[in-house]
Amino acid sequence: MKTEQEHSNEQCTMYNEQWRKVRFGEFFDMLPTNTLSRDKLNDQQGEYQNIHYGDVLIKYPFCLDCNNADIPYINDDVKFNMAVVRDGDVIFADTAEDDTVGKCVEVMNVGDRKIVSGLHTYFCRPRHKMALGYLGYYLNSNHFHNQLLPYIAGSKVSSVNRTSIARTFISYPESLTAQRRIAAILASADKVIASTQKVIAKYKQIKQGLMEDLLKPKEGWKMVKLGEVIVDSYAGGTPNRGRGDYFGGDIPWVSSGEVNNPEINSTFENITIEGLNNSSAKWIPENSILVALYGATAGQVSMLRIRATSNQAVLAIIPNDEVADTMFLYYQIVYNKENLLFLAQGSGQPNLSKNLVDKLEISIPDLTEQQRIASILSGIDAKIAAEETVLGKYGKIKKGMMERMLEGENNLN
């Protein structure tokens, strides 16, 4: 990637370009799409490929390079008749579970492929020649997406209709050279991000193999119930939210939704000493193990790195350090997550309890071997955490670059 000064110089040049601002409906032709569900698609072969809205939302980058993308095929026995996608076309997802509705991809390097636009998408073709890549980045920027927010409808599922999208505005520098320059700079940031993501994926794959090799029971190891090698385990509580003086203090308070990362170093909410004293919330020592008991994160495990409290859906586990290494227990609970969820009662989402978690059977070696294994796995976790920090940094840099490079449109307001 270029230096910030080089980017700054290029941005100054872009600000001197002539920009145009036009209605979306005047800029794009909207072409027909199909309504094929996933069961009409396959990952192996077919004459036509299909861009599905779910892949637009989750899987594909802003600029979809067909040479390097997994685009599903339409089953040969499915009949349809519609236009195929070509380079520079934009595919929007018109439905999502949140405000990501409206995410889109600009299609590139179609070649001889026959690709169509699928279920819950808008197939948009620009009426003007544009530099490849510009629209993919612009239409996913806050400059454009914020225009969609007032039009998003729905409670459980969010959607935006064609008429509403047609009312928004597209802004772009008239010069194709300036458009290419913007797209190239942002594409270089994407390459760095993608490279870092591959490194993280590689480390996670290595970790998975190490856990399978190091944590499965071996000769000489002892099978115990988790409750036999801990000092205590207990869930917390939630202070009355109707009381204005129970939240907003300086006591960290963990909710079950936060038990989805390897470590917890901060919390979304804090409670006051009054909230602590007038609820079933309890102090949890730092370096305790947390298990989410129910809700969307049920069965997830985190290491608490700060002294904190929690709500009733979070179980704190304090190991007996005379017989069990804390990090080894943490990895064993993670490794045995499926067995833990098997103990859960009730239909729908798993519903764990202190008694069920205490009954989880794990295999442990002597303390020295536990510490050795924990050290190996902690080492690979440290590498993953370091790369994820780098990834977060690059993500912020790219976001800032997108906003700064598209500020030229402000000259039109």
Q: DSSP assignment of 125-191, as one string?
A: EESS---TTHHHHHTTSHHHHHHHGGG-B-SSSEE--HHHHHHSEEEEES-HHHHHHHHHHHHHHHH
Adjacent-strand bridge partners of 319: 230
Pair 229, 104 in one domain: no
pLDDT for residue 359: 93
Whether 94 shows a pLDDT value over 80: the answer reads yes
Residue 385 contacts residue 183 (beta carbons within 8 Å): no
Flag whether 241 is in a domain.
Answer: yes
pLDDT tens track for 325-361: 999 999 999 999 988 888 776 556 678 999 999 999 9
H/E stretch holding 254 reads strand 247-254
pLDDT for residue 9: 45
Last residue of a domain, one of 348, 364, 380: 364
Sign of CA dihedral 391, 396, 397, 399: positive
Radius of gyration of the chain (CA): 26
Residue type present at position 112: D
pLDDT for residue 405: 78
pLDDT for residue 412: 47
Last residue of a domain, one of 148, 173, 198: 173
Pair 238, 155 in one domain: no
Which residue in 71, 90, 107, 75 sits closest to 31, CA to CA?
Answer: 90
d(CA 235, CA 237): 7
> Number of folded domains in the chain?
2
**pLDDT classification of 408: cutoffs 50, 70, 90:** low
Tally the residues of the chain. 413
Q: Which domain, by its residues, includes 28? A: 19-173
H/E stretch holding 384 reads helix 367-405
Buried b (16+ CB within 10 A) or exposed e, 164-173: bbeebbbbbb
Pair 35, 164 in one domain: yes
Flag whether 2 is in a domain.
Answer: no
When pLDDT is averaged across residues 178-206 and rounded to a whole number, the result is 93
Least confidently predicted of 158-162, 221-225, 344-348:
344-348
pLDDT for residue 154: 83
Flag whether 61 is in a domain.
Answer: yes
Last residue of a domain, one of 141, 173, 205: 173
**pLDDT classification of 12: cutoffs 50, 70, 90:** very low
Pair 232, 121 in one domain: no
Flag whether 309 is in a domain.
Answer: yes
Flag whether 86 is in a domain.
Answer: yes
When pLDDT is averaged across residues 214-239 and rounded to a whole number, the result is 94
Pair 152, 229 in one domain: no
Flag whether 279 is in a domain.
Answer: yes
Which residue in 302, 268, 286, 261 sits closest to 384, CA to CA?
Answer: 261
Pair 108, 234 in one domain: no
CATH code at position 148: 3.90.220.20
Whether 10 shows a pLDDT value over 90: the answer reads no
d(CA 32, CA 74): 16
Pair 163, 226 in one domain: no
pLDDT for residue 404: 81
Flag whether 387 is in a domain.
Answer: no
Flag whether 211 is in a domain.
Answer: no
Pair 143, 229 in one domain: no
